[in-house]
Structure 1
């Protein structure tokens, strides 16, 4: 059985790969894709697998953008963090939907549905779905900002809520999240990408190395050349300096 994973978050991709590899089935992972654009290209150039594990929100749109461009000849198992999408997902010929973080027994149950109903389901697929309407509704209801991060530790996975993170920093092209409890985890996003995902009322990108949580700042000091230096808890190894070009915006942010 060939399975394609379409998921834009690298940790979630890895988790699905690990779960598939742990199942007692003959599974070939056809690929791991992260965007609408590359998924459309893949489906046009490759034979379609039996099953697609499909996230709803992707890096450049929503998964229904793919279906608008190509007729996917696979059965779809939606994998999403957003329960409100579930009913709509079933209306577009999905075999099942799973809420993140996915457990192996849930994935096995979804595959069991394929064993029981797969061929019959394919023969009765509805090709009249209004994808334009679905795309519009879902894009308008997407949650505004990230609420948690899925973190890998050795062979296990766990979630870290955003409100527990004091700051993010970048070192040698790797981004780390540091919690108020002084725990540090690598995350698979650049600071620029994180800036778009985080609530701007709570987080501020002070320079190329740091994004700080407002609640982590205990004091702000003037520094040379019109810059500012922050006291944040827990203390980072590098000084968290607010660049001169960001000082005015930073002060407005602090004074809201």
Structure 2
């Protein structure tokens, strides 16, 4: 088995070689690149049975390399990025393990590769997958608001964004309802707040309300193509507008 390792961190590379040696019962035949430039040179001059790749290399991300070369080699990503990034995968020819991974997890990824390879049942990393992965990575690296500073009569309180179930416009301010039903005044308008929130979690269902997907209890059909939502901590049921219902349905399924 000939392997290409794309890994910019020396300790992580050494760990991969150690695990490979233990798994294969001998030191693997492999090449090692820490940059896109060197990785491209190896791929231009050689063919490999499998590629073990980190996401971040010294001179960029490995997706840029895979975008440049034509590959029919299975890839196992070894990365510290959050698991949701890899929802973009749509082929069973790709596996991933998250740093810090264990030997058991590493062996499981190799076993999956070998099983698919023996069946001839793995898929290639195509252009569409690369585009989705880049998009997911860009979103993962975007910094969203984690908490709001709320001024109360007794002082200042920190409101974690993850605890907010509903945000309602109220003039130049907004009222945030948390998962315990408590209401908090945020000294910003709805448009400003919307730009600071993770679009995977929060959706503006009408002109004056934003909901958190984690606190949706039930969704009911309503008149004029609207949806009525039951939200944790909220007595009243917010409603989608006719113009947002279609996008809301798509958002729920992403």
| TM-score normalized by the length of structure 1 | 0.49
| TM-score normalized by the length of structure 2 | 0.49
